[in-house]
Structure 1
């Protein structure tokens, strides 16, 4: 009662005697409370509540503890991975800001919107490390967005190499870097848009008149002179080919895709893993892995022959290759026979002859006998400039120089194709290997 009846209550009495009348008088009263035993129903209810707590609440609590024990390491790992990603992003942002003279930083949302969420309709082409999409910014500027996956280590190297080289270069025949974005595990580079695409789609497929072809060769030679001699620290592109030569609305060439490019710093070569495109890769690079300005000259020579002849190269080792065909007509003294028939004779014969001689000279298997790009520019721009002399027949020896810390010199011949070089321990400190093809 004490838990139910309040402290202050009204108490009354009622009684009935039927038809008779009676008088009652209360002389005294007293209230006493006693603890009554719980009935069985109440006991059962309490037991059910306890049982429910034991069966439901405790297992749920234990389950939550187990889940927390399992999830905690995963959550900590996710937080650590996110922190590492943020630190890595900040490091890359700092590197790219310094390397690229602070180009514009885009957000992933901006570039996704500009390219219609990287739709197939906006895809311009795909390469070894990513895809290129056409985009339109809010200010109506048309851009080309190169998307590289951040999950690829090589892709990251290409991303940084591209920014660290092309970001600091300024030349009218270079594709200009407009900005970059490193967000959502994506590496994005933004370039000026080239309406006519790459030179690749015009060789053997589309058509370019001779004036345009000659203009492309002059622009490409000019930008290689800039990279090798005029941009401060020389740059070796390492992948000069039609796919990486972009054409603007006036068909002016713009060299792009510097993902394989390397700075020479104080050395005259860069030693790395063999990188480049077969058919455009200088033969000595395959043996030594050393990229030099002369290896870019070799690639330029292959592009020259492709533009003049209107056909793609399949490599010098292939039977009846482009280089074989040009050398054959050159040795016979009928050099104009290799010119693209689509031109139908509408070209300057003197310019064509000079281009073919330049191309063959650049493709010399001995890198020491290839002309410098400055000499090439002088020949292409000045008809009175004397041509370099070519051998009477196609040279077949590949000269490879190997260097070490010593200054001693040894020259010998070896059939490299058969693997008869001998033990590396027996090699001299510096040597020239000659491969008779």
Structure 2
């Protein structure tokens, strides 16, 4: 038993014993009557026994109540101390068990069953290493049927882990130094970037010349695939634009140092089952926005790369704003905006240059909008989104807005239930 509990129990017992002993002594302590005095005691008639007086009765009852109260208090204190000791032991053992389990697995969340197989000594930042055999089995030995997409620096596979929901595995075949740098770049950046609109990296794997990254799987694929296959409503399109801008705003204004994505395009904007946006593919992203001779080369990005980067290698946050403007145009038009589009039968020209005159003409604007949404949106809102797109794709970087300004411009156009502030429809005019 706990020493404190023993001391309190003994003290209470001694106190109760003394109390009872004092009571008995009081009852049995009339004046002494030694036997040798009987011979000198005169003979009187036997005394008449009188009933106890009310004062004696009250004193007796009072003593009985005190004794009962002492016993009740002692029992309650001992019971409380016993229960407290048991609870303290239980909590201590539970905390000790949780501490030991934490060294084996991080949590029983979506990552839990996979993280149990990680080597705790192989962690880069906050990203743990996954066994190659586990990934190989989850992708059915990288079956062609599991390919989700082919990107500039590797292929993306669907993976299903035992006791684990679906995930996406990006495979680099690192035969060139730039591929190794792209792999390391993603790990470094994504281990430090946590935002609802940025893809989550669960783990990585290094096996011979293969480099593997395990991401959360987005059920609705990329925006590029949705533009061709699904009928996205106007509200969903504006929601996608707003959440993409919020992801870029976090990279530009809340990361230290700021991060320039550098390769934003519709194929890198992933969508979950509720069409929530996750920006992916940070292979060529740059922390600090400083370009140098050792920087990663851009893969093919169609017409999403800012013109100043092609002309003189200049790279700033406004470069991402230009890429966002191209994505916004694709949301309006319902198709991918290629680097060169047919503006007429007689000439081909840049997609952005071809679409700009349509965007600035209020009468022609509805004609270039995706037919799926042409008659479903508020015309005033369409004009506002088109104006934001025009500003974002300006040739001169200084004319483009900050991405935070884009966020503020789009919030009033998105319904409240989708993350904006729009409550009522505006008049049907520009």
Same fold (TM over 0.5): yes
Q: Indicate which of 289, 298, 318 corresponds to 1:275.
A: 298
| Stretches of structure 2 lacking an aligned partner (at least 5 in a row) | 1-118, 343-347, 415-430
1:97 and 1:351, CA in 2 relative to 1: closer, same or farther beyond 3 A?
A: farther
The equivalent of 1:145 in structure 2 is: 169
Stretches of 4+ aligned residues off by more than 3 angstroms: 93-98, 271-274
Question: Does residue 165 of the first structure (1) align with residue 165 of the second (2)?
Answer: no
Query: CA RMSD for the aligned pairs?
Result: 2.3
The equivalent of 2:326 in structure 1 is: 302
Q: Indicate which of 257, 281, 295 corresponds to 1:257.
A: 281
2:337 and 2:141 mapped to 1: Cα distance? 36
Contact kept, 8 Å, 2:271 with 2:278, in 1: the verdict is: yes
Q: Indicate which of 225, 234, 243 corresponds to 2:267.
A: 243
Question: Does residue 196 of the first structure (1) align with residue 220 of the second (2)?
Answer: yes
C-alpha distance after superposition, 1:196-218 (max 9, x if no partner): 11111122443211111111000
1:106 and 1:94, CA in 2 relative to 1: closer, same or farther beyond 3 A?
A: closer
Instruction: For residue 292 of structure 1, report the CA deviation from its aligned partner.
Output: 1.1
Contact kept, 8 Å, 2:262 with 2:284, in 1: the verdict is: yes
2:121 and 2:401 mapped to 1: Cα distance? 36
1:323 and 1:185, CA in 2 relative to 1: closer, same or farther beyond 3 A?
A: closer
Question: Does residue 382 of the first structure (1) align with residue 405 of the second (2)?
Answer: no
Question: Does residue 323 of the first structure (1) align with residue 352 of the second (2)?
Answer: yes
1:96 and 1:243 mapped to 2: Cα distance? 31
The equivalent of 1:51 in structure 2 is: none
The equivalent of 1:339 in structure 2 is: 369
1:207 and 1:383 mapped to 2: Cα distance? 19
Contact kept, 8 Å, 2:197 with 2:279, in 1: the verdict is: yes
Q: Indicate which of 272, 285, 294 corresponds to 2:309.
A: 285
Secondary structure (helix, strand or coil) at the match of 1:163 reads: helix
1:350-429 pair list within 5 angstroms: 350-382=380-412
Question: Does residue 97 of the first structure (1) align with residue 143 of the second (2)?
Answer: no
1:289 and 1:317 mapped to 2: Cα distance? 24
C-alpha distance after superposition, 1:29-67 (max 9, x if no partner): xxxxxxxxxxxxxxxxxxxxxxxxxxxxxxxxxxxxxxx
1:211 and 1:96 mapped to 2: Cα distance? 44
Contact kept, 8 Å, 2:359 with 2:390, in 1: the verdict is: no
Contact kept, 8 Å, 1:269 with 1:290, in 2: the verdict is: no
Question: Does residue 118 of the first structure (1) align with residue 148 of the second (2)?
Answer: no
2:190 and 2:209 mapped to 1: Cα distance? 22
Instruction: For residue 339 of structure 1, report the CA deviation from its aligned partner.
Output: 1.3
C-alpha distance after superposition, 1:226-264 (max 9, x if no partner): 000112210000000001011101011110000010111
Contact kept, 8 Å, 1:96 with 1:160, in 2: the verdict is: no
1:305 and 1:262 mapped to 2: Cα distance? 25
1:13-92 pair list within 5 angstroms: none
1:109 and 1:357, CA in 2 relative to 1: closer, same or farther beyond 3 A?
A: same
Name the one with the larger helix percent.
2
The equivalent of 2:254 in structure 1 is: 230
* TM-score, length basis structure 1: 0.62
1:125 and 1:376 mapped to 2: Cα distance? 29
Contact kept, 8 Å, 1:148 with 1:155, in 2: the verdict is: yes
1:368 and 1:313, CA in 2 relative to 1: closer, same or farther beyond 3 A?
A: same
Secondary structure (helix, strand or coil) at the match of 1:97 reads: strand
| Stretches of structure 1 lacking an aligned partner (at least 5 in a row) | 1-92, 385-437
Instruction: For residue 320 of structure 1, report the CA deviation from its aligned partner.
Output: 5.3
The equivalent of 1:52 in structure 2 is: none
* TM-score, length basis structure 2: 0.63
Contact kept, 8 Å, 1:96 with 1:164, in 2: the verdict is: no
Instruction: For residue 94 of structure 1, report the CA deviation from its aligned partner.
Output: 12
Instruction: For residue 366 of structure 1, report the CA deviation from its aligned partner.
Output: 0.4
- Number of residue pairs the alignment of both structures matches: 287
Contact kept, 8 Å, 2:362 with 2:383, in 1: the verdict is: no
Contact kept, 8 Å, 1:96 with 1:102, in 2: the verdict is: no
